[in-house]
Amino acid sequence: MPRPTPFRAGASRLSALALSALISACGGQEPAPEAAPSLTVTATRLASRSLERTLVASGSVAAWQEMSLGVELSGVRVTAVLVEVGDVVKPGQTLLRLDARTLEVQARQADAALDQAQANLALARAANARGESLLERKLISTADADQLKANLISAEAKLTTAQADRDAARLKLGFATLEAPQAGVISARSVEPGQVVSAGAELLRLIRDGRLEWRAELAEGDFTQVQAGAIVKLAGPDGAEVSGRIRAVSPALDPQTRTGLVYADLPEPGTLRAGMFAQGRILLGTVAAQVLPREAVVFRDGLPYVFVLQGNAAVTKVTQQRVSLGIQQGQVIAITSGLGAEDRVVARGAGFLGDGDLVRVLPAAPATAAPEPPR
């Protein structure tokens, strides 16, 4: 049998290549390589949790009751101031003293006048008794007896007047010492020894019982949610948390601003001081919610989204899904709409994804972490 020539062999190879190209053109393409996942992620589902409803507000710290203290005398010099700002005082404690020498003299004069009135009354009583005896024996006239009785009544009246003068002098002498009307803390002092004071001028201020309160102004929509007795958590200037309780809610709103005041007692104010500004959280109770880890929610153009996994395969695509958010607490956030209970979403790595990305899913993550309890 004759062997093929080199020309015929080359022609056979070209025919084979042409046949292969024809087969490919008729639909016999080789499969393209599978796309690789862009990211490895973890998945989670909605979890039921009880979250604390809170209302954030700002307000000022003020004295529950601040008393302005002064004296009732004018033109008297201060001899001693016995307290400083910040001192804790008890009821009846002496706060300052005035020069009482003139008042002491007046008090002694009043005592002497009282003694004299008492002596005059005793003499008038004795004279009246003798007059009555003489009148019975017809030894004096009725007019003389009436005069003796009038002298007795006058002496009794003068004694009453002398007693009132003595009491007034002692009371005035007492004004020379300013005492604390209530327990509390001295919050201001505007008097120095040697100063001549006038009646009614403020010399000291006292925070009654050292009691402070937080006064917050709330908008109309928030105001109606707050009730007396609600717990308040404030941030102190040192970062420590201060607890309080709503004491009262204003019965009316300001018609101009449509806001109302709430008043919260601060039994242990810590480093808070009257006049400070403090931000606080008003705790409104708990509510059942469906939550996700906060890292599962991403914001695009200011709107919240999650990435929903398509199916349960280890390698799958994600779909960007718009959701509505509720309460945020600790490391979880409530989802109010946009997700179903069976939807699996990307828990970790969502911030690096785009709609339609292919991802590899790690084994299911543990249940969503419980929210941090309110302090």
pTM for this prediction:
0.58
Indicate the pLDDT class of residue 200, thresholds 50, 70 and 90: confident
Instruction: Specify the fold of 100-173.
Output: Helix Hairpins (1.10.287)
β-pairing, 259-266 vs 241-249, is: antiparallel
Cα Rg, the chain, nearest whole Å: 47
Separation of alpha carbons 80 and 178, rounded Å: 10
pLDDT in the model for residue 364: 54
Considering only CA atoms, which of 142, 152, 209 is closest in space to residue 180? 209
> How far, in Å, are 74, 173, 354 from residue 198 at the CA level?
4, 15, 78
Instruction: Using pLDDT thresholds of 50, 70 and 90, give the confidence band for residue 35.
Output: low
| Contact call for residues 42 and 353 (beta carbons, < 8 A) | no
Lowest-confidence region among 6-20, 93-107, 203-217, 288-302: 6-20
Domains of the chain, residue spans = 39-50+288-361, 56-64+208-287, 65-99+176-207, 100-173
Task: With residue 212 as reference, give the H or E element that holds it.
Answer: strand 212-219
What is the pLDDT at residue 213?
94
CA dihedral of 354, 358, 364, 366, whole degrees rounded to 10 = -20
Q: Do domains 56-64+208-287 and 65-99+176-207 have the same CATH topology?
A: no
Q: What is the share, in percent, of the chain residues with pLDDT greater than 90?
A: 48
Query: Domain 56-64+208-287 adopts which CATH fold?
Result: Elongation Factor Tu (Ef-tu); domain 3 (2.40.30)
* pLDDT attached to residue 34: 53
- Counting other chains too, the contacts that 142-147 makes at CB distance below 8 Å and 24 or more residues apart are none
Q: Given pLDDT bands bounded at 50, 70 and 90, which one contains residue 116?
A: very high
Q: What is the pLDDT at residue 166? A: 94
- For the domain spanning 39-50+288-361, the CATH number is 2.40.420.20
User: How much of the chain exceeds pLDDT 70, in percent?
Assistant: 86
The pLDDT tens digits for 221-250 are 888 889 899 999 998 888 889 999 999 998
What's the confidence (pLDDT) of residue 2? 45
- Tokens coding 62: 């003020």
Distance CA 235, CA 220 (A): 24
Report d(CA 112, CA 240) in Å as an integer. 64
CATH of 65-99+176-207, one of 3.30.360.10, 3.40.50.2000, 2.40.50.100, 3.40.30.10: 2.40.50.100
The edge-to-edge listing of strands for the beta sheet with 177-179 is 177-179, 94-98, 76-81, 196-197
For residue 4, pLDDT over 60 is answered with no
**134 or 330, greater pLDDT:** 134
Q: Across the chain, what does the average pLDDT equal?
A: 84
Task: Tell me if 74 sits within 8 A of 197, measured CB to CB.
Answer: yes
β-pairing, 241-249 vs 76-81, is: unpaired
**Cα torsion angle, 52, 53, 57, 60, sign:** negative
Looking at residue 6, what is its pLDDT?
41
Q: pLDDT tens, 322-359?
A: 999 988 888 889 999 988 888 899 988 888 888 888 88
* Residue 314 pLDDT class (50, 70, 90 cuts): confident
- The mean pLDDT of 76-94, rounded to a whole number, is 94
Q: Cα separation of 227 and 247, whole Å?
A: 9
Could you tell me which residue, 26 or 291, shows the higher pLDDT? 291
